[in-house]
Every structure is written in C-alpha cells, then in structure tokens.
Amino acid sequence: MFILINLKAYPRDPVAIAEAAADVDAETDATIAVAPQTADLAAVAETGVETWAQHVSPVGHGSHTGSSLAERAAEAGAAGTLLNHSERRLKLADIDGSLAAAERAGLDTVVCANNPDQVAAAAALGPDAVAVEPPELIGTGTPVSQADPDVVEDAVAAARAVDDAVDVYCGAGISTGEDVAAARDLGSTGVLLASGVAKADDPAAALRDLVTDV
C-alpha cells in the first residue's frame, strides 16, 4: 500500500513527522510518503522520506508570479505531486497542464476527485494514480472505507474502465490500520490522509498504527 500523509497547512513540524514517517517506512512493506508545504519540500526530502508536493502549477519557467513550478519541486527533492485536491480544485485544462508540467519534471502524479465520475474523467488524463476523496468526509475522522465503501469500489471500477494502468487510492477520515486494510480490501492500492497524523498527539504512534495490517 501507498500511504501519503498530506500535511496541508497544519501547524506541525514537518521534519519531525517526516523523520517518523521514514522510520516507519523502513519497518514495513508499505510505502509512506509525506506532502508538506512547498517551502518545506527540501527539508522533508532531506530526511529520506518519499516527498510529495501538494500542488504544482500548469506552467513552466517564465513570467508566472505566485506559481509553484514542478521543476523546482523536483529539484527540492519531490518525487511526486497531488493535483486537484478538494481544497485546491483546478479547472480541467489546468489539471491537464499541471500533469504535463509534472511529467516534464519527472514527478509522479495523483489527481484527486470527489466521486467515481470525476475519477473516470481524471483517469482519462493519464495520471499515475487517481484518488477518490468525498469532501464531506475530509477531516471528520469517519473513514471513507467504512462510511461509503461503495464510492471506493465504484471509483476503482470507473478508473479500470478508462485505463487499468492508473492506480486508485482513496482518502478522507482514514486514521487507523483497520481503515487502511479496509481501503485495500475495497480495491484501493493506496490511501491519502491528513488529520489522523497531522493532528495526532503522537504522530509517530499514529503512523505505526496505519501499517499494522499491510
């Protein structure tokens, strides 16, 4: 399983969480990756943990003030990038442009989507993976794999029907090893989560719990 910890804009030390994630990654067959704020990419990558950007812009070098260049994310040590997260929605043309930018920079890509129809549309753009994250469950602590298992299974089927080379992940409310195992049993090969680690009293213990059954 691929387990991506999205630190969003939570007020936690990204390096401490990255170090804990690197330790747990070394103890398990799962791959644990951390997506910090853009300014923290290099420091997180230096811990040795697989590092992801939360977003990259659909542009290359040039006059694009305020952009997040895919090339700079890669140079800072990122291996991949989220795109179209529920909290960073993009127009269709921008998802396509950001995918092209990520591919030019050698970044892996996960395009997020609200539901199976959007998953199918996202899969048609040719990312490495798509992730279904029902917005109403994000941050609730109620795991999508329990609250809405059909949405995960339907997302897997929707992506398969378009392109069976695209991996399918799920996210929202995932916080325990049981949630990760349930996501896997529904056909997902990875999970995205944030508050289960970024708001935990003990992030290292939360990370260890995530991999108890992978």
Ligand X SMILES: O=C(CO)COP(=O)(O)O
Q: Which of 166, 183, 175 lies closest to 207 in space, CA to CA?
A: 175
Is 61 a residue of the active site?
A: no
Asked whether the beta carbons of 193 and 3 are under 8 A apart, the reply is yes
Of 85, 87, 103, 178, the active-site residue reads 85
Name the residue nearer to ligand X (CB basis): 37 or 59: 37
- Shortest distance, CB of residue 81 to ligand X, whole angstroms? 12
Tell me the window of 103-111, 176-184, 188-196, 204-212 that interacts with ligand X (CB under 6 A). Answer: 188-196
Please state, in angstroms and rounded to a whole number, the distance separating the CA atoms of residues 172 and 149.
Answer: 12
Please state, in angstroms and rounded to a whole number, the distance separating the CA atoms of residues 188 and 52.
Answer: 19
Name the residue nearer to ligand X (CB basis): 105 or 210: 210
Please select the residue that binds ligand X; options are 138, 152, 168, 183, rule is CB under 6 A: 138
Angle between helices 116-123 and 149-162 (to 10 degrees): 30
Tell me the window of 38-46, 121-129, 150-158, 194-202 that interacts with ligand X (CB under 6 A). Answer: 194-202
Contact status: 196 vs ligand X (CB under 6 A): yes
Is 85 a residue of the active site?
A: yes
Q: Where are the alpha helices (H) located in the chain, listed in sequence order?
A: 14-27, 41-45, 70-75, 92-105, 116-123, 144-147, 149-162, 177-185, 195-198, 203-210
Please select the residue that binds ligand X; options are 195, 203, 207, 209, rule is CB under 6 A: 195
Name the residue nearer to ligand X (CB basis): 72 or 199: 199
Q: Is 193 annotated as a binding residue?
A: no
Q: Is 8 annotated as a binding residue?
A: yes
Site for ligand X in 108-137 (CB under 6 A): 133
Reported residue count of the chain is 214
Please state, in angstroms and rounded to a whole number, the distance separating the CA atoms of residues 38 and 43.
Answer: 10
DSSP conformation class of 47: T
Contact status: 192 vs ligand X (CB under 6 A): yes
Please state, in angstroms and rounded to a whole number, the distance separating the CA atoms of residues 171 and 192.
Answer: 5
Q: Which of 135, 84, 139 lies closest to 109 in space, CA to CA?
A: 84
Of 27, 133, 136, 153, the active-site residue reads 133
Site for ligand X in 57-96 (CB under 6 A): 85
Size of the site for ligand X (CB under 6 A): 14
- Shortest distance, CB of residue 143 to ligand X, whole angstroms? 8
Contact status: 193 vs ligand X (CB under 6 A): yes
